[in-house]
Amino acid sequence: MNKLISSVSPHFHTPRTSTKIMLDVIIALMPAAVASVIIFGWRALLVIGVCVLTCVLSEFLFEKLCKKENTVSDLSAVVTGMLLAFNLPVSIPVWQAVIGSVVAIIVVKQLFGGIGQNFANPAITARIIMLVAFAGPMTNWTNPVGIPDSVTSATPLAVMTNGGALPSYKDLFLGYYPGSLGETCTLALLLGGIYLLIRRVISWHTPVAFIGTVAIMSLVCGKDVLGQLLSGGLMIGAIFMATDYSTTPSTKWGKIIFGVGCGLITILIRFWGNYPEGVSYSILIMNILTPFISKLTRSKPLTGGGKQ
Amino acid sequence: MKLHGIRVPHKKNTANSVPVRLGVPKTVYIPMSMHIGKPAKAVVKKGDTVRVGQLIGEADGFISAPVHSSVSGTVAKLEDMTISNGMKVQCVVIDTDGEQTVFEGVKPPEVNDLQSLVEAVKNSGAVGLGGAGFPTFVKLSVKDLSKLDAVVINAAECEPYITSDTRTMLDKSEFILKGIEALKKHLEVKRFVIGIEKNKPEAIEKMRRLAADTDGVEVKVLPSSYPQGGEKVLVYNTVKKIIPKGGLPLDVGVIVINVTTLAFIGEYLETGMPLVEKCVTVDGSAVKEPKNVIAPIGMTIADLLEGAGGTKAEVAKALYGGPMMGLAVPSLDSPVLKNTNAVTAMDVKEATPPKPTPCIRCGACLNHCPLRLDPREISKAYKTASPEDLLSLQVDLCMECGCCSYICPAHRPLVQTNKLAKAMLRTYKASAKKEGK
């Protein structure tokens, strides 16, 4: 008689895997990737490629070196690479993109234990570190393809702070303005967001709370609401970064608090801070608060008033 | 408030399969423990002649149940047998004569009050046929009838593959009615709620017709999300009450009874034939022709699979019950038990569990737990051996439905860890109690 497999129930499992979830995120990022190439030219593809490759390689080598089980196949490093690239100006020197990617994967993710263990979003933290380390290149914005260099290449948020001519809402929506290569095209990011919602990879709570807070606060402060929503890293931040599993709360109310917090900090930095943009910082600060939010919003088990 | 749950594949391939009676096997193996509680005491010895329905094991202690012979034949031996929970229990092995002569003592019981009803149910050998195998008469021994508001009939059948309760509703509705009437009369209950998952339209239709003709019976259509048949979920979704932790349905004025158990009681009251055979759904990826069969209790799973048309692939794993909460049997020599409502035979592909990968903190487990536990935190508390944390996380509330393990995209063994954590908490509580004294 053959030996039977003995295992504890359940004996059925969801066909979903971590890899498939990451693949969905990559698919959702594709419209923005295509848009970045159309808007900023082929160099966008180079930056994305360099970041993805470096992230995957760093993860592979680090795990090899530490004799840890290899997790490259879960594709999370690809997602980090894409997101980091999307947060860089298209003119970023390749070696700086490489350093940023290494920092994202090794310092922010792997040193804290790898996938699911890091408390801060790798792409955002790496971007902030790069902003400090390479302040010049990181804020050297180029105009979209077809707009001559003679035209000022300040980001819309900088224009709003310092004055000047703002691109039309249509151009803002389509992403035809200077900015990080993957953050400008709201249309593409929204398409990706809808895909993630349909695939149930993310829930609506964080993005709606985040974007809603920014909209309401802009209205209250008498700012250009649509301009605030369509420019800067708000869309990519709210849809793709503030919904990262590892670094944000898992409960419904936790997500809402996280989103509102991000929105408030973004507004604070945008309207009263020294930087024109605050999305990255807001998400990083809320990442740090996540364990507390999680504890605060933990669902109450249905004990029906039973004994301890 | 809506309880969480998960969408599992239904795979109700056998819903239209009218049960076929299998031929009598050469030998049956009847364990003395097919219920929760103390094993029955064997009252036959080697060489005894037994007939269908004859008592072969008597109930021992309050929470116990008698066992009857499912065949006519000769007792070959009494042997110890390892059952699927790893315990060794005594088992009566009977060589059948193929005659299936009915025991002369089988006659309808006389029932005229609650006490005689409880006695009859006890003598019938009835246990919870939905899976748990809790002796039914214990459930019916209600001390204070005024506390009882309703009887919830569990016809959710939320496990994939299984359709034996569906068949009970379609084929034995007259016995369900008889069971309801007996309980109505002697338990003085006025309200009966039959909870059926939405994916069984024919059964719902049939039960609605029954309810239309009977006072106090209502049908509650439950959403198609697992685990509707879990006692706590069922009671909440039918009468909107939450059974307190560590309590019984009776604490919220309810008795829950499985629909097949109830139909069996109805049938027993009419015929007097104890629980000796079961309608079993035979399905799974290794089964050639999925179908419902009627098998004598004690028939081996190997004989059952053979009788049901054989297998199309090597059986890599066989379960008592369905894939969500089913128990893997140690070998195909394991017998059909009283509470076996299905046998799921899986081929290698279906049987091999996916490899766990690191947790990505997606939160699917805690957002799908019907009782709103946090399996992720429980795992952490278990790994760091922190029973105080387990206490505050209320892990002992876990009903082990397996939603968390099913839904986890990293395929973490969450419910398995919950079980271990529950054991850790039990040990901790026991030692705390000792120190307290």
Q: Which of A25, A214, A11, A238 is nearest to B324 (CA)?
A: A11
Mutate to test the interface with A, among B315, B362, B395 (most CBs of A within 10 A): B362
> Which of B271, B290, B309 corresponds to the end of one domain?
B271
User: In terms of DSSP H, where are the helices of B92-226?
Assistant: 114-123, 136-140, 164-171, 173-187, 201-213
Residue B67 counted as domain residue? no
The first and second tokens of residue A250, run together, are 């898992």
> Which of B237, B271, B305 corresponds to the end of one domain?
B271
CATH for the stretch A18-148+155-296: 1.10.3430
Residue B244 counted as domain residue? yes
Q: What is the pLDDT of residue A2?
A: 60
The first and second tokens of residue B213, run together, are 């003709």
Minimal Cα distance from B314: which residue of A? A2
For B172-223, how does the pLDDT look when each residue is reduced to its tens digit (9 = 90+)?
999 999 999 999 999 999 999 999 999 999 999 999 999 999 999 999 999 9
pLDDT of A1 higher than 80:
no
Contact A306 B245 (CB under 8 A): yes
Q: What is the pLDDT of residue A34?
A: 97
B374 and B259 housed in the same domain: no
Q: Which of A28, A36, A301, A260 is nearest to A145 (CA)?
A: A36
Facing residue for A10 by CB, picked from B316, B318, B324: B324
For B257-290, how does the pLDDT look when each residue is reduced to its tens digit (9 = 90+)?
999 999 999 999 999 999 999 999 999 999 999 9
For A14-46, how does the pLDDT look when each residue is reduced to its tens digit (9 = 90+)?
999 999 999 999 999 999 999 999 999 999 999
The first and second tokens of residue A287, run together, are 């990442």
pLDDT of A128 higher than 70:
yes
Looking up residue B251, the CATH number of its domain turns out to be 3.40.50.11540
Q: Does A305 touch chain B (CB under 8 A)?
A: yes
Q: Does A8 touch chain B (CB under 8 A)?
A: yes
Minimal Cα distance from A303: which residue of B? B245
Between β-strands B20-21 and B291-296, what pairing exists: parallel, antiparallel or unpaired?
parallel
Contact of A120 with A168, CB cutoff 8 Å: no
Question: Domain range for residue B423?
Answer: 364-436
SS3 B335: strand
Looking at the complex, report in whole angstroms how far the Cα of residue B420 sits from the nearest Cα belonging to chain A.
12
Mean pLDDT rounded to a whole number for chain A: 93
Residue B415 counted as domain residue? yes
Longest dimension (CA), chain A: 83
Provide the 10 A C-beta neighbour count for residue B209: 12
Looking at the complex, report in whole angstroms how far the Cα of residue B256 sits from the nearest Cα belonging to chain A.
17
Facing residue for A114 by CB, picked from B243, B358, B362: B358
Looking at the complex, report in whole angstroms how far the Cα of residue A299 sits from the nearest Cα belonging to chain B.
6
Q: Find chain A residues with C-beta within 8 A of B432's C-beta.
A: none
From start to end of B291-341, where are the E strands? Answer: 291-296, 317-320, 327-328
Looking at the complex, report in whole angstroms how far the Cα of residue B48 sits from the nearest Cα belonging to chain A.
31
Q: How far is the CA of A297 from the CAs of A158, A257, A292, A294, B366, in angstroms? A: 37, 9, 9, 5, 12
Minimal Cα distance from B425: which residue of A? A308
What are φ and ψ of residue B291, in 5° steps?
Answer: -165, 170
B120 and B267 housed in the same domain: yes
Looking at the complex, report in whole angstroms how far the Cα of residue B55 sits from the nearest Cα belonging to chain A.
33
Q: Does A76 touch chain B (CB under 8 A)?
A: yes
> Which residues 102-161 in chain A show a CB within 8 A of chain B?
114-117
Q: What is the pLDDT of residue B26?
A: 96
Q: What is the pLDDT of residue B130?
A: 81
Q: Find chain B residues with C-beta within 8 A of A1's C-beta.
A: 331-333
Looking at the complex, report in whole angstroms how far the Cα of residue A248 sits from the nearest Cα belonging to chain B.
9
Q: In terms of C-beta density within 10 A (0-12 exposed, 13-18 middle, 19 or more buried), how is residue B153 classed?
A: buried
Minimal Cα distance from A252: which residue of B? B367
Q: In terms of C-beta density within 10 A (0-12 exposed, 13-18 middle, 19 or more buried), how is residue B68 classed?
A: buried
Mutate to test the interface with A, among B85, B225, B232, B245 (most CBs of A within 10 A): B245
Q: What is the mean pLDDT of residues B84-103?
A: 90
Q: pLDDT exceeding 70 applies to what percent of chain A?
A: 97
Residue contacts between A and B (CB atoms, under 8 Å):
165
User: Which residues, other chains included, contact B213 with Cβ-Cβ below 8 Å and sequence gap of 6+?
Assistant: none
From start to end of B1-47, where are the E strands? Answer: 20-21, 27-31, 41-42
The first and second tokens of residue B95, run together, are 């060589």
Q: Find chain A residues with C-beta within 8 A of B358's C-beta.
A: 18, 71, 114-117
Q: What is the mean pLDDT of residues B223-231?
A: 92
From start to end of A156-248, where are the E strands? Answer: none
Q: Find chain B residues with C-beta within 8 A of A18's C-beta.
A: 357-358, 360, 409-410
Query: Radius of gyration over alpha carbons of chain B, in Å?
Result: 22
Minimal Cα distance from A116: which residue of B? B360
CA pseudo-torsion sign B353, B359, B364, B366: positive
Q: What is the pLDDT of residue A6?
A: 86
pLDDT of B52 higher than 90:
yes
Which of A82-91, B289-298, B326-335 comes out lowest in average pLDDT?
A: B326-335
> Which of B222, B242, B271 corresponds to the end of one domain?
B271
User: Which residues, other chains included, contact B61 with Cβ-Cβ below 8 Å and sequence gap of 6+?
Assistant: B37, B38
Minimal Cα distance from B416: which residue of A? A8
Tally the domains of chain B. 2
Q: Find chain B residues with C-beta within 8 A of A112's C-beta.
A: none
Contact of B315 with B305, CB cutoff 8 Å: yes
Minimal Cα distance from B390: which residue of A? A308
Q: Which of B275, B317, B271 is nearest to B294 (CA)?
A: B275
Domain locations in chain A?
18-148+155-296
Q: Find chain A residues with C-beta within 8 A of B411's C-beta.
A: 13, 17
Minimal Cα distance from B322: which residue of A? A11
B256 and B128 housed in the same domain: yes
Q: Find chain A residues with C-beta within 8 A of B359's C-beta.
A: 116
pLDDT of A308 higher than 60:
no
